[in-house]
Amino acid sequence: MALSGRLGLMAGPTAPHIAILPPLVRRVTSIGPCATPHRLGTGCCKCSRNFTAKAANSTLDAIAPEPEERESTPMSQTADAPGILKALDRYKAPKWLFRSVACLVLGGQVVLRIFKGNIHWRNTVEQLRLVGPASLGVSLLTAGFVGMVFTIQFVREFAKLGLTRSVGGVLALALSRELTPVVTAIILAGRVGSAFAAELGTMQVSEQMDSLRVLFTDPVDYLVTPRVLASMIAGPILNVLCFCMGMGAAVLLADLVYNVPANVIVDSARRALTSYDVLTSMVKSWVFGTVVATISCAWGFTTSGGAKGVGESTTSAVVISLVTIFIADFFLSFIFFQGQGTALKQLK
């Protein structure tokens, strides 16, 4: 009874209540970096930072690392890879040499498939929309301002010599032979070539190329040939439209600013321009479009190293395409326009 009374328990069936003692509180002390015993969570800043850092590290350690992404089989290790690519890969050739040879090999494979008729027409139409209509606006805008800039230079200098009537002919020759093919090719390299290299490079580093091979689909037939063929078709068409835009902008500026009648510019251009100039301009744009698409696809196919490799391949593809455009332009101009010209004699 004495013990029950101390605990607050009333013996017998008439006990009105049971008193419950409060739970025991365990005081936990720790000695942290501050070297002072205290309870956890009492606001010691040194210990709080130490405890938070340990908790964060334990949480990061508990997270399982993501598995590394596997890349597709390199172009030189596929079953149908040419022997020269396998040899370059075996002897660890420099990357620039391997890519140059791969570009030539890929270009030859595309030409062979086009002649055989192995063309995926649905993909070709989709790529043609990207290369053609999607690139038309920026190409026309660039060609218009290029035409106006050269109009300013030609009118300014020719007016001093009293040759204002020859401005249209000189401008038409400059645009058709050099300016519009090169400007159109530069637009294609920056807008379309970079897209080709980035897209194919991403597919190469994410096993999508191997997925196509598992489905018995040749990546060259499905991915490369449509892109190169679309660039071959769209390049000359964009070139003609850009030439018309450049001449139109030149006529407008000459008439409104320099008081040179539009019929004078158009008549001069008509007498100076020949069908040979138009043909060479189309050939140049066709070559440039083929070069841009082939280089971009080859650089995409030879991408490695994950996302960083995709960025490097895209940048390198655009730079190499631009350099190749100017080199090809020199050789084509040297072949097409040797000897003395007679176009300006028609303007007298």
Whether 50 is in a domain gets the answer no
Q: What is the pLDDT of residue 43?
A: 52
What are the angstrom distances between the C-alpha of 97 and each of 87, 314, 324, 327?
12, 17, 15, 18
List residues bridging with 199 in a β-sheet. none
If we measure between CA atoms, which residue out of 305, 265, 34, 278 comes closest to residue 165?
265
Instruction: Indicate whether 249 pLDDT > 90.
Output: yes
How do residues 25-60 score in pLDDT, each as one tens digit? 444 444 455 555 555 445 555 555 554 555 545 554
Range of the domain at 208: 89-335
323: tokens are 């350099």
Whether 209 is in a domain gets the answer yes
Whether 83 is in a domain gets the answer no
Whether 94 is in a domain gets the answer yes
Whether 185 is in a domain gets the answer yes
Instruction: Indicate whether 186 pLDDT > 50.
Output: yes
Residue 16 buriedness (CB in 10 A; 0-12 / 13-18 / 19+): exposed
Please tell me the pTM assigned to this model.
Answer: 0.76
- Per the structure, the count of domains in the chain is 1
Percentage, residues of the chain above pLDDT 90: 47
Q: Which amino acid is at 239?
A: N
Please provide the DSSP assignment of 214-276 as one string: HTT--HIIIIIHHHHHHHHHHHHHHHHHHHHHHHHHHHHHHHHTS---HHHHHHHHHHH--HH
CA angle centred on 153, ends 148 and 159, rounded to 5°: 115
Instruction: Indicate whether 300 pLDDT > 60.
Output: yes
Please provide the DSSP assignment of 57-81 as one string: HHHHHHSPPPPPPPPPPPGGGSTT-
Whether 34 is in a domain gets the answer no
Is residue 204 within 8 Å of residue 317, measured between CB atoms? Answer: no
- Mean pLDDT for the stretch of residues 270-276: 90
- Mean pLDDT for the stretch of residues 233-256: 94
Q: What does residue 77 show for φ and ψ, rounded to 5 degrees? A: -110, 10
Whether 130 is in a domain gets the answer yes
Report the C-alpha gap between 51 and 200 in whole angstroms.
Answer: 48
Q: What is the pLDDT of residue 40?
A: 47
Running DSSP on this structure, what letter comes out for residue 206?
T
Instruction: Indicate whether 15 pLDDT > 90.
Output: no
Whether 100 is in a domain gets the answer yes
